Structure 1
C-alpha cells in the first residue's frame, strides 16, 4: 500500500492531506515534550531538574530489579536500540544513567555520577506499568478506546474509565488529581469543593451551600448571618484561606479523581501554616504555576520556534514586490486545492495513488502553466 493512499480496516479512505495533518500534530506534540529537554547533554549536572522528559530502560533495568530513569540525551546516546519505556515528563528527577543500578557500563555522556539519586521518586511506571490496573501502554490486549490522563501529584497515568468520575471536556487544559492522592492529602477535598471542576452528580448540592465553584476569590460573600460569620472569624485564623473555606461547609462527594481548571493553583492558601503542610506532604510544587505540564510544553514550543531557521520560501517572498507575492500565493493555493481534489477522486473510487499518478499531476500543472505563459505573450 502506498503512502499517498491509506485504507483503514473499516474500508474508510484516508487521504494524503489527512496523513500530513496527523503527522504535523504528532510532530508538534513531540516538540512540546522534547524541546524542553536537551537531546545532546546528560541532565545529571543540573541536579534534580524541575521537569524533563524521562525514559526507563527495560533492557538495562528490567522488572525485578531496581527502578531507574534516564534523561532524553542518554536515551539517545547510551540506550540506542534498547527497549525503552516513555515516561513523558517527571518533576524533580536526576538522571540515573550509568549509576550502580546499571550493571553494564557507565554513562557515555557524564560517567562521573553518584551511586544513587536519593531524592528521585519511582513508581510502577518505570517498569512499563500504568494506572490502577497496572497495564502497559500501549496495551495490545485492551480493545477499549480510552485516553490516559496523568495525575498532578503521583504522576501516574490512569485510564479515563478507571478514574471513578466523568472526564470533563477540554481536559487537556485541566489538571487531574487521582482519588488515591486526594485521600492521602485530605485537605485537598476542601479546596475541591470550591475550586475544582464540579462533580456532575453533586453540583446542585454544592451550589446550595453558597460555595463558589468557579474558583473566584469571593470568600466573604457568603449568604449567612453576619453574627455567625463574626464568631467563626474569631475562632479561625483570618489570614488562612483554607480555614475560611472549611468554615463554609461546602458539600462534595469525596470519591473519584478531581479535575482542576487553569489557574487553580494561584488560589491555594499561602499562609505559613499551609506552606508548612504542603512542604511536609512533599507538595510545595503546587504553589508554583510554572510546575504544570502545560507550562513545560509551552516553554518547549517557544524554544523550538526560536531554534527553527527562517523559512526559505518566506525569505524569498520578502524580496518580491506585492504583485509578485500575490501571484505566488494564489498559485500555491490553486495547486493545493487541485491536489486535494485530485486525491479525493482516487479516494472516492477506492483506488491507490501511484508515483506515476503524482508525476502525471505535476506534469499537467507544468503544461497548463506553459499554456498560460504562451497566451500572455500572444496577447502582448
Structure 2
C-alpha cells in the first residue's frame, strides 16, 4: 500500500469519526458528571429541621453580617451561594440550614431562592393563576434562624487545634474528623496535631486536596492512607523529614475522638474501656511542642513504663502503664458499635456510662446522614449543574461556576452543530467548522453592541 493511500485512509477516518465521536464523548462526560454529583440541588433542608447533613460555611455572607457564622445546606450552596466564598465542612449533626434566615439579615437579596420558588409555586397553584413570578425582586433574609445550631471555628474556615485556615493547595498530611464533637464541634484535625508534632518538621506536599479523599463521618475510613510518605523511600533526601510513624493506620479503626472531647468525659471513656475491652483500640497521647515523631515516640514510651513515677511534670503512670493526667485521643475499633450494642442492656442502669451512652446514642447506634434526593431523570442535570462537583472543592467557586456555565452553552451549540452530520453520516469539513465559529463571533458582537 502506498504512503498516499495510507494518508488518505487516516484522514478519512479522522474526518468521518469527528462528529460521532464528539457527541459520544459528551455523553460519556455527562454520565461521569452524574456519577460524581448525582443529587438534585433543588431542595433546601431548612423546613426539615435538625439533620446530620453536608454543610458549607459561607464566608461571604458571614463577612456581610458582622462575622456571624453561617452554614448552608448542599442545595443552597449551589442555588443561592454559588458566587460566594464557601468552605466545605462535610457533615455536622443536628443542624438547620441558615440560608435565608435572620443570621443573613444584612445580605442583599438574602432570601433563600429555593424556598422562595417553592412558595411562589404553591401560591400560584392555590390561586389557579399564572401570576408573574416575583423571583426577580430582591428580598431580605427574614426566616427564623434555629436556636439549636452550634458553631465552631470551622464556620470561619479554620480547623484543628492549630486553628489554621484550610488551604487545599498547601495542606500536608491527612485530616480526621472528631466523631463525638461535644467540645470541639466535630472539628477536623491534622494527624500531626493529634500527636502534637510541629508542622514545620513534617514533609509538605502541595496540590493535594486532603478533605476530598476522606470518607464521610459515619462511613468506614479504611480507604484512606494515614502515613506521610516520601516520594521515594529508597532515595535519600537531605532536606526531607521522617515519616509520620506510630499513628494508627486508618484500616485499623473506625472513628476518632479528639483529646478535647476525651478530657471532658475522661472518666466515662475509661469506664467504657474497662467495660468493653477492645472497643478502644488505641489511645494516642498528645505532647505539645514535639519536634519529631521519634521524640514523640520516646515520650510515649516513658508513659508506658511501669511503676508510679513522675515524668517531667507532664503526667504519671500506674503499674499497668495507663494514661492518667496526659492528654490523649482515642480510636474506636472497626466493630465497636456491635460490641457496645451486644452488652449495652447489661450495664448498670444507674451508672454514669449507661447515662452517657443513652444521652449520646448516636455514638453506637444508627446515625444516618441526610442526602438530597437523587436526580432520576433520564437526561440528568445540565453540565453546568453537574459540573459544580469540581467547583464545590474550590475557593472561591464563582469563576469555576462561570466557566462551567460558559462551557455548557458552548457544548450545546457544538452538539447541535454536529448532530445533523452524525445523523446523515456526512463529513464535517474545515469550512463547516470555520463558518460555525464565525457565526458565533458575529452573534457575540451583535449582543455586545
TM-score under structure 2 length normalisation: 0.44
Distance 2:146 2:253 in 1: 32
Partner of 2:176: 149
Partner of 1:264: 336
Q: Is 2:111 the counterpart of 1:106? A: yes
Aligned residues: 228
Distance 2:34 2:256 in 1: 23
Shift of the 28–164 alpha-carbon distance from structure 1 to 2, 3 Å rule, reads farther
Shift of the 286–252 alpha-carbon distance from structure 1 to 2, 3 Å rule, reads same
Partner of 2:50: 48
Shift of the 161–93 alpha-carbon distance from structure 1 to 2, 3 Å rule, reads same
SS in 2 for 1:163: helix
Superposed CA offset, 1:59-105 (max 9, x none): 11139522121101111111111100100111111111111110222
Q: Is the 8 A contact 1:182 1:189 kept in 2?
A: no
Q: Is 2:97 the counterpart of 1:95? A: yes
Q: Of the candidates 252, 257, 262, which is equivalent to residue 182 of structure 1?
A: 262
Partner of 2:79: 77
Structure 1 residues without counterparts, runs of 5 or longer: 1-22, 207-248, 311-380
Q: Is the 8 A contact 2:178 2:258 kept in 1?
A: yes
Superposed CA offset, 1:96-146 (max 9, x none): 11111102221112258742211112110011000001112226565xx21
Distance 2:160 2:73 in 1: 23
Distance 1:135 1:28 in 2: 34
Partner of 1:253: 323
Shift of the 64–178 alpha-carbon distance from structure 1 to 2, 3 Å rule, reads farther
Distance 2:194 2:71 in 1: 26
Shift of the 60–43 alpha-carbon distance from structure 1 to 2, 3 Å rule, reads same
Q: Of the candidates 149, 155, 162, which is equivalent to residue 126 of structure 1?
A: 155
Distance 2:250 2:80 in 1: 38
Q: Is the 8 A contact 1:278 1:284 kept in 2?
A: yes
Shift of the 141–287 alpha-carbon distance from structure 1 to 2, 3 Å rule, reads closer
Distance 1:28 1:90 in 2: 25
SS in 2 for 1:158: strand
Q: Is 2:358 the counterpart of 1:276? A: no
Q: Of the candidates 25, 39, 54, which is equivalent to residue 41 of structure 2?
A: 39
Q: Of the candidates 86, 89, 103, which is equivalent to residue 88 of structure 2?
A: 86
Partner of 2:164: 135
Distance 1:147 1:53 in 2: 20
Q: Is the 8 A contact 1:149 1:160 kept in 2?
A: yes
Structure 2 residues without counterparts, runs of 5 or longer: 1-28, 120-141, 197-245, 285-299, 306-318, 380-449
Q: How far 1:205 sits from its partner (Å)?
A: 6.8
Q: How far 1:262 sits from its partner (Å)?
A: 1.7
Shift of the 205–262 alpha-carbon distance from structure 1 to 2, 3 Å rule, reads same
Distance 1:28 1:177 in 2: 34
Shift of the 175–161 alpha-carbon distance from structure 1 to 2, 3 Å rule, reads same
Q: Is the 8 A contact 1:97 1:107 kept in 2?
A: yes
TM-score under structure 1 length normalisation: 0.51
Q: How far 1:162 sits from its partner (Å)?
A: 0.6
Q: Is 2:146 the counterpart of 1:117? A: yes
SS in 2 for 1:197: strand
Shift of the 132–64 alpha-carbon distance from structure 1 to 2, 3 Å rule, reads farther
Q: Is the 8 A contact 1:192 1:258 kept in 2?
A: no
> What CA RMSD, in Å, does the superposition of the two structures yield over aligned residues?
4.0
Distance 1:27 1:91 in 2: 28
SS in 2 for 1:152: coil
Query: What are the equivalent positions in structure 2 for 1:143-292 lying under 5 Å apart?
Result: 145-154=172-181, 155-164=186-195, 166-171=246-251, 174-186=254-266, 187-192=268-273, 194=277, 195-199=279-283, 252-253=322-323, 255-268=327-340, 269-270=344-345, 271=347, 272-273=349-350, 274-278=353-357, 283-288=360-365, 290-291=366-367
